[in-house]
Amino acid sequence: MQRYILSRLVQGFFTLWVLSFIVFISAHLTGDPALVLLAPEAASEEDYAAMKKKLGLDKSKPEQYLIFMKNAIRLDFGLSTKDFRPARDILLERLPATIQLSAAGMGLAIVLGIPLGILSAVRRNSIFDYLAKFFAVIGMAAPQFWVAIMLILFFGAYLKVLPTYGRGGLDHFILPAFVLSWSIMAGMVRLGRSSMLEILDSEFVKFARIKGLREHLVLWKHALRNALIPLLTFSGISLAGLLNGSVVVEVVFAWPGVGRLLLEGVVQRNFPIVQAAVLVSALFYIIAALIVDILYAYVDPRIRYD
């Protein structure tokens, strides 16, 4: 297990390095931020040269990349080209909002999605099963922005019972958290149902029933533990995606999170912000994947890493 964890850490660092190179090149292909900050018709050549020097763009691309990597190791992503504040500080200001919203959305998806999927498999071909499958199909097909707009119109404009923008009290979390968990919840219902059906039809579950074990022991002790493995993978990757910030949800609900910050950085050609947000997002994915792989061995003792 230790050798496996070490190899995954090495793979994770290599992935971050490759991604940092791709992000660096991609960001510089979008244009010159010095021209964005200066009015082209009014700025002189001296002003342009001074701005490039201030942003560190007067050096060659390899030099800029080496400086960027050296600073990134110290979690120093440079100064924002918009207000010349440290990109790290701006990212840390937005991160709590994304973590809170992600925790609310993921909690809602787990509390509702997993039980619905399990019960749908246990009561297959019942009315409850048909309703759960219909909900899963709608949840996977309906775009987040459409669901968000419909909820804003109904609960905000028509009923006027819930706030529809900004970050505030608990009532501000209800709509964005539900929209954020919508597709994840639907995915858990479908995945949980299919996984549970496969386990219920397996030989060891049939043998447990033949031995005379009570049905709730067969379901919760034998079947559910094995059915949780694909759900564990899906939950870990989904949580990493939520922590990265959903751009659609945060923009529609004016939520001051990382996803909205990333979009603002792209629009403004704010290289330090884009690079910091993308690298932190990749780090979340790598950590989540590593944790899920380690949990496999504890959920299913048959899984071992050589």
pLDDT of residue 191: 87
pLDDT tens per residue, the chain (306 residues)? 667 677 777 877 888 788 888 877 776 676 666 666 666 665 677 777 777 777 677 777 788 888 878 887 888 887 787 778 888 888 888 888 888 888 888 888 888 888 888 888 888 888 888 888 888 888 888 888 888 899 999 888 888 888 888 887 888 888 898 988 888 888 888 888 888 888 887 777 777 777 777 777 777 776 777 777 788 778 877 877 777 667 888 888 888 888 888 888 888 778 788 888 888 887 877 777 777 777 766 666 555 555
How far apart, in Å, are the Cα atoms of 134 and each of 119, 131, 177, 304? 14, 5, 21, 37
Whole-angstrom distance, CA of residue 104 vs CA of residue 6: 32
20: which 2 tokens?
């940092």
pLDDT of residue 303: 57
SS3 assignment for the chain: CHHHHHHHHHHHHHHHHHHHHHHHHHHHHCCCHHHHHCCCCCCCHHHHHHHHHHHCCCCCHHHHHHHHHHHHHCCCCCECCCCCCEHHHHHHHHHHHHHHHHHHHHHHHHHHHHHHHHHHHHCCCCHHHHHHHHHHHHHHHCCHHHHHHHHHHHHHHHCCCCCCCCCCCCHHHHHHHHHHHHHHHHHHHHHHHHHHHHHHCCHHHHHHHHCCCCHHHHHHHHHHHHHHHHHHHHHHHHHHHHHHCCHHHHHHCCCCCHHHHHHHHHHCCCHHHHHHHHHHHHHHHHHHHHHHHHHHHHHCCCCCCC
| Dihedral of alpha carbons 199, 123, 179, 267, sign | positive
pLDDT of residue 39: 62
Strand partners, 86: 79
pLDDT of residue 24: 77
The CATH class, in words, for 95-299 is mainly alpha
Helix 171-200 crosses helix 87-122 at what angle (to 10 degrees)?
40
pLDDT of residue 37: 65
138: which 2 tokens?
């709608």
pLDDT of residue 4: 66
pTM of the model: 0.74
Domain with CATH 1.10.3720.10 in the chain: 95-299
